[in-house]
Amino acid sequence: MSTGNGAHSAPAPQDEPATDTTTSAADETATGTPDETAAGAATRAETRTAAPAGAAPPPNSTEPPARAGEQEPGEARKPSMFSSLRIRNYRLFAMGQAVSNTGTWMQRIAQDWLVLSLTGSATAVGITTALQFLPMLLFGLYGGLIADRYDKRRLLLATQSVMGLTGLALAVLTLSGHVHIAHVYVLAFVLGLATVVDNPARQTFVSEMVGPAQIRNAVSLNSANFQSARLVGPAVAGVLIAAVGSGWAFLFNGLSFLAPVASLLLVRPGELHRTERVPRCKGQLREGLSYVRSHPELMWPIVLVGFVGTFGFNFPIWLTAFTDRVFQEGAGTYGLLNTLMAVGSVAGALLAARRGTSRMRLMAGAALMFGVLEMLAALTPSFWLFAALMAPIGIMGLTFNVTANSSVQLASDPAMRGRVMSLYMMVFMGGTPIGGPIMGWITDTFGARVGFLSGGVISAVIAVGVGLALARAGGLRLRFDMRRGHRHLRFVPRESGPEPDDGPESAAPPGAAGERERVPTAA
């Protein structure tokens, strides 16, 4: 998941206000009442993510005008689907990632199947996944701090090289016939250590390549790149495992990292949109946590991402169990299910690349639908119906992921972005050491269907809860209206007094029209 800088980031603390009457975001957070602060924060987040680039701030808005270099006047509300690829540095980077991502997906499938073959346990698959993401849980915030302090291109050269070496080591052990489950555990943990720095560095480096005006498009294309590799990698891995064994998939993955290393060496540093590095000082981790806690438009999406990532994205456990125990099939079928999910993920990513805004209500709605679809898949009795649901699950999962990712980045101050995104990735990926073994135990003890169903239920429930919390932060309430001709369920501004009866569009008084245009979309 490669992500980067935001187009409409919150102003840095040292910025001067646009006029004498303008109130800064930091001042509002420090001096407003809790409800006023939350509502203002959600409003600012929506203004940043929904307003056309280059537009002047709306009347009476507390947002300062865009700073030079933060927006491009010609940015469209619906950009070209592949507009970021016009930038040479990003185009090279994307090509290298496409090769490496294919190898990564081959290793994921081969590793899951190797562990299942060595142990016969879905819990062991969960433990392997947990060890790979445990470093993110333990050291994730430090990875973001490193990304804020040091040159991101050099960091990526180091991390991508280490990740390639882990694949080559696993290939040698497997092809020589000396592989043991302990070897897989250790190499998964080493890979996770490299990921701690690689993820925040890669996310923020993308913004340095494309600039803030293209960040939504680049986030979506990164996801499309990763998921497109998922179309090829699992299928090739399934054929290789059946024909010659898992070792060759590991070998391809190790060699595939030569492509991103070469692309990083070809990047032209003079064309990067560099951000100022954060100097070393005490208390920077606490500062990042306090920053997120004081901004509801950051805190609630990260909470949602943490729960869904921990309990809803355990597909290696569930799909191996469904393939082996429910449908009594082999590695080829496991690869097919992953490929079908990737088809939906690619479609979701490309649709996101066309989207000009990152609305938080879309994020919560996608998470809810993701959980509901998982529940349906868990209960379906037919293999082909189960397989058909993989694509919609992929669409909703990717829509949720891209929307949450870009929303958090766009609402973050550039000086804080590395630490914010490291926290984002820590709860998204670092929750796997908790969720993986739990879901593996549930799957082994109560069956694959109960395991999959429990992940869907948790995702759907937390999506509803966070959606309501975001609505409250944005000054909204949920309104039920059973009258004919009216929308039966919608968010409206919290206000006293009865609402007019002459139609759903006149629910707010005229004076609230401007606010109503901006605030509801934050939820």
pLDDT digits (tens, 9 = 90+) for 391-437: 999 999 988 988 888 788 777 777 777 778 888 888 887 677 788 88
Nearest alpha carbon to residue 312 among 199, 410, 404: 404
Lowest mean pLDDT among 197-211, 480-494, 496-510: 496-510
Coil/strand/helix, residue 101? helix
More confident: 100 or 477: 100
262 pLDDT band, cuts 50/70/90, is very high
Provide the pLDDT for residue 477.
66
Separation CA 132–CA 139 (nearest Å): 13
Q: Per-residue confidence at 173, pLDDT binned at 50, 70, 90?
A: very high
Encoded amino acid at 514, one letter = G
Q: How far apart are CA 42 and CA 295, in angstroms?
A: 8
Angstrom distance (rounded) from CA 299 to CA 424: 9
What pLDDT is attached to residue 293? 86
Which phi and psi angles does 476 have, rounded to 5°? -115, 165
Residues 186-207: what's their mean pLDDT? 89
Sign of CA dihedral 90, 207, 81, 87: negative
Residues 6+ apart with CB under 8 A from 195: 132, 133, 135, 136, 159, 163, 429
Q: How many Cα atoms are found within 13 Å in the side-chain-facing hemisphere of 251? A: 13
Mean pLDDT over the full length of the chain: 76
Provide the residue type at 28 as one letter: E
State phi, psi for 500 to the nearest 5 degrees: -60, 155
The dihedral through the CA atoms of 11, 17, 21, 24 has a sign that is: positive
- Give me the residue label for tokens 């937390």: 462
Kindly report, residue by residue over 95-144, the tens digit of the pLDDT: 999 999 999 989 988 898 889 888 888 778 878 888 888 888 788 888 88
438-446 average pLDDT score:
91
* Dihedral pair phi/psi, residue 71, rounded to 5°: -140, 155
Are the C-beta atoms of residues 298 and 411 closer than 8 Å to each other? yes
Retrieve residue 304's tokens. 């949602």
Q: What's the pLDDT score for residue 514? A: 39
Q: Closest by alpha carbon to 423, among 190, 199, 242?
A: 199
As a whole number of angstroms, the distance between CA 473 and CA 471 comes to 5
Q: Check residue 487 and give its pLDDT.
A: 63
Q: Which residues are bridge partners to 476 per DSSP?
A: 493
The owner of tokens 């399934």 is 238
pTM of the complete model: 0.63
Query: The tokens of 235 are what?
Result: 């299928």
**What pLDDT score was predicted for residue 240?**
86
Least confident of 349-363, 387-401, 436-450: 349-363
Helices (H), 267-330: 284-293, 296-311, 315-321
Q: What is the mean pLDDT of the segment spanning 15-25?
A: 37
